[in-house]
Amino acid sequence: MHFLSLPRPANTPSFGTKPVTSTPAIVDTTTLAAHDFDVDPRTGFMPPQPPLERLFSECIRYEVWEEVLDEAMKGGLKLADGDMEEEERNNNELWRKRVREMEILRINGLVQSEIMLRRAHHVLAWILHFYVHTTPTFDSAIHIPPSLTLPLLQVGRELQLPPVLTYSDDVLYNWAYDGDKGTDDDKDTSNDKGTSNDKDTINPNNLRILTSFTSTASESHFYLTSARIEIIGVRALKVMQLMMDELFVGDAIAVKRIARWLDALGGILGEMQAELNNMYSGCDPRVFYEEIRPWFNGVDVDRPWIFQGISLDPTLTIPTELSGPSAGQSSLIHALDLFLGLSTFSHSLHGTNSFLSRMQLYMPRHHRNFLIHLQRLQIPIHDHTTQHKTRYALHLLTAYNSCITSLKHFRDAHFVLVARYIIGPAARERGLKGAKGGEEEGEGEERLKGTGGTYLAQFLKNVRDSTKDAVIQIRGGGGGGGGGVGFPES
């Protein structure tokens, strides 16, 4: 049986908890196949089955959490930093009062099921963000009540996740089939290029979102665009596996095949870019910046989050990782960087690699283990490209550089999207504040932070530059990049 279907072992290593004296029972996935890292060959980092939609179907006592989340989504809660009528403020407070008065529930009915724990983290983290961002702005700190603190931190302990919304809560585990037809199980579109959709893959055009802050079409489209990119990325993972098999063989025919797979990977990256550009068709930039994005924000240094009731569970500690969900938490993008050798170049960029490493703490722990395993393998695709000396060497180099260029184009598109949806609106907002005398000297694009907590523009430029630097220059061809390489005449 798949390890996720087995009972969870006791005393698993805990995220943000005090050490335990007993020896923890650890599920060691470092030597298992990719599937046992919860990476499915048909759906990649997305779950092969739709995520659990309600906890009460498994355990009725947790229905209160589901009801509170339902009320938040249907009750028209408003961001506290926006203009509100008195009735809207009262509505916010009535809902927050309901959260404070919830019974503190033990999570013992959840710990044997990874799937139920995921749903619990999803529900509680969404409640947390609704609660935090409806707290009146005149409050100097945001006090999280014990009814939310204890179960959220305890679930996070089991899953080794921080008690905050993550990319997996917003994208990976935030979907269901829209209607009866959810998969592509009636066809097999396989081909001889290794870029097929296998049977039973998720149909990316037939999904709906489970949870939303605004219930707007723009918000649904925002999450679904990321989900569709993840689904396209399944074929990238398959091609990476095929290249690893050929690297193991290492003969001239293998080199030729690796070049072909690199070409295929570049094409898949092009499809991911096209899907990213599809964001514009359904997500309004103004709605995103003003109505959706503020709900994602993690802890604000000016208004700390105080988790009340931690002392009631001596195994818990005060959480320190409280950034909001970020595209930097996508395991797919990290896997591509590791496979193509880009992590080597990001080490030279101040702060970039440390931020991406920190974002791995917000990933499902099995996906995090997959990336650790991938890193330990030290896949030599970049070095193999520079060192190979056969008549296929130039073809290999060209295919590698083309693949890197496709990844750079994807990141260029991401930068343009961020400029349109965040940097541009923020600049206009600063201009309005400046006209009213409210802009501080030194504020600008370089100081704008993303929901992950890093300075957004500079970080994206650094990542894009590190990708460009991975391009290998032919010796004597000029330019910088990742070093020069010469080739034999034949």
Instruction: Give the annotated binding-site residues.
Output: 414
Q: Tokens 């979102």, residue?
A: 209
Contact criterion met (CB below 8 Å) for 483 and 386? yes
For the annotated binding site for heme b, the residues are 414
Return the HEC string of the chain. CCHHHCCCCCCCCCCCECCCCCCCCCCCCCCCCHHHHCCECCCECCCCCCCCCCCCCCCHHHHHHHHHHHHHHHCCCCCCCCCCCHHHHHHHHHHHHHHHCCCCCCCCCCCCCHHHHHHHHHHHHHHHHHHHCCCCCCCCCEEECHHHHHHHHHHHHHHCCCCCCCHHHHHHCCEEECCCCCECCCCCCCCCCCCCCCCCCECCCCEEECCCCCCCHHHHHHHHHHHHHHHHHHHHHHHHHHHHHHHHHCCHHHHHHHHHHHHHHHHHHHHHHHHHHHHHHCCCHHHHHHHHHHHHCCCECCECEEECCHHHCCCECCCCCCCCCCHHHCHHHHHHHHHHCHHHHHCCCCCHHHHHHHHHHHCCHHHHHHHHHHHHHCCCHHHHHHHCCCCCHHHHHHHHHHHHHHHHHHHHHHHHHHHHHHHHHHHHHHHHHHHCCCCCCCCCHHHCECCCCCEHHHHHHHHHHHHHHCCCEECCCCCCCCCEECCCCC
Q: Describe the crossing of helices 114-132 and 146-159 by its angle, rounded to 10 degrees.
A: 140
What residues pair up with 485 in beta bridges, in sequence order? 474
Pairing of strands 305-307, 207-209: unpaired
| Nearest Cα to Cα of residue 123 among 143, 102, 92 | 102
